[in-house]
């Protein structure tokens, strides 16, 4: 098992100055809280603690020390050979020999406010602000200039926010409130519309709170519209956005009066009744503004059962930053790497790509097995030299200098397949979590035995897989839980006669609580079944073992060939259908 580098503790506060601007009160609308009865937490708090400790801010040992790969990808390796054992480092692994190529496409230019530093909030303050410190929201300067990034937002833009709260040491029932506030950049009122949005706690402490505990789900489950599946708040938020659902806590639109500070959402992060005192919240918004606006995310302690008064948010925005954490390794430095966490505005909310053979309009079946990285990052390009990480338009000193991991980014991929052979073929499509590496290996490394760390919890949406009698079906969604070094399982198969073509569509939103990178793989069905045989002799489901016979059902394509359905393993409340497009 690879060890993780301890990220140094860092308290990054804005320059300590006394606010000189006059006291102000935000007069924008605030939703009134409801009196709620608390219910006691459970073992899900321990699962949240495990996730918090497992999410690396540092590159894995033995991988980070490698020099960055060259920009040009290596020549494709020879066609697939049986998986062969490699020398164990800290756990036995196998190398699956295959092509690994850069993912075609690129990020769009949409601005995404990425609010993830600090992840563990210890004190109230500004988490992230794009306001102009020289004019604030009402034409007067804000108190701490360095606390504001001065990035106006207009047209379509997005927000990703992910935080954890461990309570106040002196109390067992404290609540941290998170507020997204906005104001027009100009002298006129601005309408703001929610194109899509979701939020969830790790654990609900009162009725009416959207939550998603870290349930021990199987590796593959079929999503159903009447019984959605999720494990953890990041999994739920990404799933609901893919399903075009909206959390009931989020309004559909706002009118932002000029000269006023308007809360868009005020959400609790409670720990009352939980043991240990630990809770998390994930929030993602897709917004459309008819004119430039300023946006900020703020944190304040307040009552358990109702949000703070409006004056609290104006006071917080006039003050300093909440302390940041994890000093990052400088860009381009050699040796081990601490990525830190993001607190800034990134360029890119969606990666769109059409996956084909080089210089061709189609992807030929004979190129399988082949994989493409998803959310590749510095010192984790999977041997392709490709870094998909979104760059930051603005960020705070001492935080991540790029959006490592592309959390909250949508991947929208098209695979126009053609069978270029003289025989019928059957291919498998899979999202996998091989062991992270940067230099070319001639394939992908997987663990033989199960790992403890979960690398991916989230939903993948696919259209075009085999249905009954091999005919293509429409859009299907699958929830995956994958551990480090885990292969597969297959999402489904594609059966093609000689010369036949079929287009696959793949969509996912990279969720919070995942650890990059993953790969999207296209595999010969017989090779995938043989690789999965390790499940029959004690390896993790879907892991490769050399020279093993297929185990019946070990690598189960879904849905027609055995994916678990949502109601079979877990019962959860469906989200509120969205009225937004």
Q: Are 316 and 19 in contact (CB under 8 A)?
A: no
Q: What residues in the chain have per-residue pLDDT under 50? A: 1-43, 46, 53-54, 56, 59-88, 532-581
Question: Two tokens at 134?
Answer: 């020289």
Give the pLDDT confidence score for residue 169 in this predicted structure: 83
Q: What is the CA radius of gyration of the chain?
A: 24
Give the pLDDT confidence score for residue 433 in this predicted structure: 97
The values of phi and psi at residue 239, to 5°, are -65, -45
Give the pLDDT confidence score for residue 530 in this predicted structure: 54
Report how far apart, in Å, the C-alpha atoms of 550 and of each of 284, 449, 528 are: 42, 17, 9
Give the pLDDT confidence score for residue 22 in this predicted structure: 36
Give the pLDDT confidence score for residue 51 in this predicted structure: 52
- Count each helix (H run) and each strand (E run) in the chain, helices first: 5, 29
Q: Are 201 and 233 in contact (CB under 8 A)?
A: yes
* Cβ-based neighbour number of residue 402 at 10 Å: 21
DSSP 8-state assignment for residue 356: -
**DSSP run (H or E) holding 291:** strand 279-302
What's the rounded Cα separation, in Å, for the pair 373 and 427?
19
């Amino acid at each position: 098992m690879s060890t993780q580098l301890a990220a140094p503790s860092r308290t990054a506060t804005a320059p300590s100055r006394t606010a000189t601007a006059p006291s102000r009160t935000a007069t924008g609308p605030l939703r009134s809280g409801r009196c709620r009865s608390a219910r006691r937490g459970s073992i899900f708090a321990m699962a949240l603690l495990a996730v918090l400790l497992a999410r690396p801010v540092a590159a894995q040992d033995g991988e980070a020390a490698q020099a960055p790969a060259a920009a040009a990808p290596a020549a494709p390796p020879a066609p697939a050979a049986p998986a062969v054992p490699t020398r164990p480092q800290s756990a036995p692994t196998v190398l699956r020999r295959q092509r690994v190529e850069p993912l075609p496409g690129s990020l769009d230019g949409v601005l995404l406010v990425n609010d993830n530093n600090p992840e563990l909030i210890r004190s109230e303050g500004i988490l992230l602000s794009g306001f102009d410190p020289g004019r604030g929201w009402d034409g007067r300067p804000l108190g701490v200039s360095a606390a504001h990034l001065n990035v106006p937002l207009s047209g379509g833009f997005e927000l990703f926010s992910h935080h954890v709260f461990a309570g106040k040491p002196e109390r067992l029932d404290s609540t941290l409130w998170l507020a997204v506030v906005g104001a027009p950049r100009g002298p006129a009122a601005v309408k703001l519309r929610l194109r899509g949005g979701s939020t969830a706690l790790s654990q609900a402490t009162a009725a009416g709170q959207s939550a998603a505990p870290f349930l021990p789900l199987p590796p593959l489950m079929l999503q159903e519209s009447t019984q959605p599946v999720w494990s953890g708040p990041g999994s739920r938020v990404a799933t609901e956005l893919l399903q075009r659902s909206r959390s009931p806590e989020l309004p559909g639109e706002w009118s932002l009066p000029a000269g006023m500070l308007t809360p868009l959402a005020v959400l609790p992060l409670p720990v009352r009744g939980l043991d240990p005192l630990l809770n998390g919240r994930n929030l993602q918004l897709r917004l459309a503004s008819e004119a430039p606006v300023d946006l900020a995310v703020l944190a304040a302690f307040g009552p358990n059962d109702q949000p703070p008064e409006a004056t609290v948010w104006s006071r917080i925005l006039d003050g300093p930053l909440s302390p940041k954490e994890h000093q990052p390794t400088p860009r381009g430095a050699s040796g081990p790497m601490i990525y830190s966490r993001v607190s800034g505005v990134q360029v890119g909310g969606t990666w769109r790509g059409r996956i084909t053979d080089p210089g061709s309009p189609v992807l030929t079946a004979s190129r399988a097995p082949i994989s493409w990285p998803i959310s590749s990052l510095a010192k984790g390009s999977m041997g392709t030299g490709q870094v998909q990480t979104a760059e930051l338009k603005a960020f705070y000193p001492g935080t991540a200098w790029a959006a490592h991991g592309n959390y909250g980014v949508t991947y929208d991929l098209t695979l126009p397949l053609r069978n270029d052979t003289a025989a019928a073929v059957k291919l498998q499509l899979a999202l996998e979590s091989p062991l992270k590496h940067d230099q070319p290996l001639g394939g992908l490394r997987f663990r033989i035995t199960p790992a403890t760390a979960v690398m991916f919890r989230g939903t993948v949406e696919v259209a075009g897989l085999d249905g009954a009698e091999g005919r293509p079906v429409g859009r299907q969604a699958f929830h995956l839980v994958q551990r480090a070094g885990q292969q597969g399982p297959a999402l489904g198969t594609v059966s093609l006669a000689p010369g036949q073509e079929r287009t696959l569509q793949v969509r996912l939103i990279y969720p919070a609580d995942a650890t990059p990178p993953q790969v999207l793989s296209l595999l010969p069905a017989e090779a995938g079944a043989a690789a999965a045989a390790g499940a029959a002799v004690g390896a993790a489901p879907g892991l490769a073992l050399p020279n093993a016979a297929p185990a019946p059902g070990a690598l189960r394509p879904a849905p027609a060939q055995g994916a678990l359905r949502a109601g079979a393993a877990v019962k959860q409340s469906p989200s509120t259908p969205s009225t937004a497009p």
